[in-house]
Chain A
Amino acid sequence: MSACIGSSAAGARTFTATSSQGLLLMAEMTFIAPALRLPIVMAVANRAISAPINIWNDHSDVMTIRDCGWIQIFVENGQEATDMSIIAFRIAEDKNVMLPVILNLDGFTLSHFIEPIIFPEQEKVRRYLPAYETTHKLDIAKPISMGLLGAPEVYTEARKATDDALVASKSRIVKAFDEFADIFGRKYNLVETYRAEDAETIIVLMGSIAETAMTAVDEMRDAGQKVGLARLRLWRPFPIEELRAAVKGAKRLAIVDRHISLGFPEGPVATEIRALLFHDQDRPRISNFILGLGGRDVPRDHFKYIVERAEELGDAGRQGHYEMVGVLE
């Protein structure tokens, strides 16, 4: 990551990929790239962190650097991973954005599987993604200093400036998604919903398990249950209005986390959504389920189970249930 920051600071289009312990090793540097407004793209094949040593999928690596200031996207399948690797540069290098982007793809489930994809044509990619021009770089002809000291007199303002840039990037992300749809015909939204319109219980999650969840939703719908799905594609900046719209009218949310916040009875996705909806008049009852840690399988019946639990607990008036699903104890 230090080399990537150097490369980007020198004005080069910069990409890297990492996972798990490798990401944590360079966690320190991840906070620096957005503050220096360097549009690096980093694919993270999300995998568990030690101990015990585990090389399989969950979201604990990236959740550890949740607050680092990068735009963070979670993809669902190989096609989306491919498309987003192009879109990510378009977003990052937008002169109104100039922020790094983390492309989260589930380790093994997406990083090591073979699936058919439509490969984006070179000519269209060129049209969509012009050659990179930086706004600021290290240049011996026009020297600048980067990575400065921010004394107490200015640190607060500098952090706010980075936060403002991250929050403001949302509209440019939407624009990048829309223009991708115009050229390639595949439309991406910040929050994706599936059969959620009239759903009483909505499963909320991120990443590739959405595919299994959709099959489970179909089966539950066939059985007459009013169940839907909402998947966060964008995690940072948090798509506040879009998430609210996606779960509007639902009585209960079954929120899935693929990371355990040791010592706190909830995962980060649930905590954030609960905080977001807390002051809403008719907010849904929220239950949180930890699933699929360290590559543990998440079959369809898990989604049926969490919907049942969310209904049972929500209807009993419970707000704030937290459960690790399938743990043997």
Chain B
Amino acid sequence: MAKIKVTTDAAVKVGDIPLGFTAQPGSTRNFKTGDWRSARPALDREKCIYCGFCYIYCPDGVYKDMGPEEKYYQPDLDFCKGCGVCAAECPKKCIQMVVEEV
């Protein structure tokens, strides 16, 4: 009989599925939802005025406030999906979307 190759890395079997497909809280952290991004935000810290628009507008909430000393916000690229909202909303246009190399 012809063998088929199942194109998945995950080895979750039917019997492994928990009743009701539930999970422990915070399990989304295990999924690096940024891995299908096609472009990532790159910040020009010279121009940044630390206004926080990027932090507020990011739909995934991936920006971290680096504090009044550092005076900038840094995206967690494990979860940034590359939508470009931060770059579009930045009043100083200091975020560039850089194409990810494959």
Binding site for B on A (CB under 8 A): 35-38, 98, 135-136, 143-146, 148, 150-154, 157-158, 160-161, 164
Set B8, B12, B13, B20: member contacting A136, Cβ < 8 A? B20
Given A146-B20, A153-B8, A154-B10, output 4 extra A-B contacts at Cβ < 8 Å. Answer: A144-B24, A146-B21, A146-B22, A148-B21
Quick one: closest B residue to A165, CB to CB?
B19
B17 at the interface (CB under 8 A from A): yes
Quick one: closest B residue to A134, CB to CB?
B20
Are B22 and A144 in contact, CB atoms less than 8 angstroms apart? yes
Are B19 and A158 in contact, CB atoms less than 8 angstroms apart? no
Are B20 and A143 in contact, CB atoms less than 8 angstroms apart? no
B68 at the interface (CB under 8 A from A): no
CA distance A98 to B22 in the complex (A): 14
Set B9, B10, B20, B31: member contacting A37, Cβ < 8 A? B20
The minimal Cβ–Cβ distance linking B76 to chain A, given in whole angstroms, is 19
26 contacts between A and B (CB under 8 A): A35-B20, A35-B21, A36-B20, A37-B21, A98-B19, A136-B19, A136-B22, A143-B24, A143-B25, A144-B22, A144-B23, A145-B23, A145-B25, A145-B27, A146-B22, A148-B21, A148-B22, A151-B10, A152-B8, A153-B8, A154-B17, A157-B12, A157-B14, A157-B16, A158-B21, A161-B17
Task: Name B26-42 residues within 8 Å CB distance of A.
Answer: 27, 31
Are B23 and A153 in contact, CB atoms less than 8 angstroms apart? no
Query: Chain B contacts of A161 at CB under 8 A?
Result: 14-15, 17, 21
The minimal Cβ–Cβ distance linking B91 to chain A, given in whole angstroms, is 34
Query: Chain A contacts of B17 at CB under 8 A?
Result: 154, 157-158, 161
Task: Name B41-87 residues within 8 Å CB distance of A.
Answer: none
Query: Chain B contacts of A152 at CB under 8 A?
Result: 8
CA distance A298 to B13 in the complex (A): 49
Quick one: closest A residue to B7, CB to CB?
A152
Are B10 and A153 in contact, CB atoms less than 8 angstroms apart? yes
Are A164 and B23 in contact, CB atoms less than 8 angstroms apart? no
Query: Chain B contacts of A35 at CB under 8 A?
Result: 20-21
Are B9 and A164 in contact, CB atoms less than 8 angstroms apart? no
CA distance A37 to B15 in the complex (A): 15
Residue in A143, A146, A148 whose Cβ sees the most chain B Cβ within 10 Å = A148
Query: Chain B contacts of A144 at CB under 8 A?
Result: 22-25
Are A38 and B20 in contact, CB atoms less than 8 angstroms apart? yes
Q: Give 10 nearest A-B pairs by CB, closest first.
A: A153-B10, A37-B20, A161-B17, A153-B8, A144-B22, A143-B25, A36-B20, A160-B14, A145-B23, A154-B12
CA distance A150 to B14 in the complex (A): 13
Are A98 and B23 CB-contacts (below 8 A) given A153-B10, A154-B10? no
Are A37 and B19 in contact, CB atoms less than 8 angstroms apart? yes
Quick one: closest A residue to B11, CB to CB?
A153
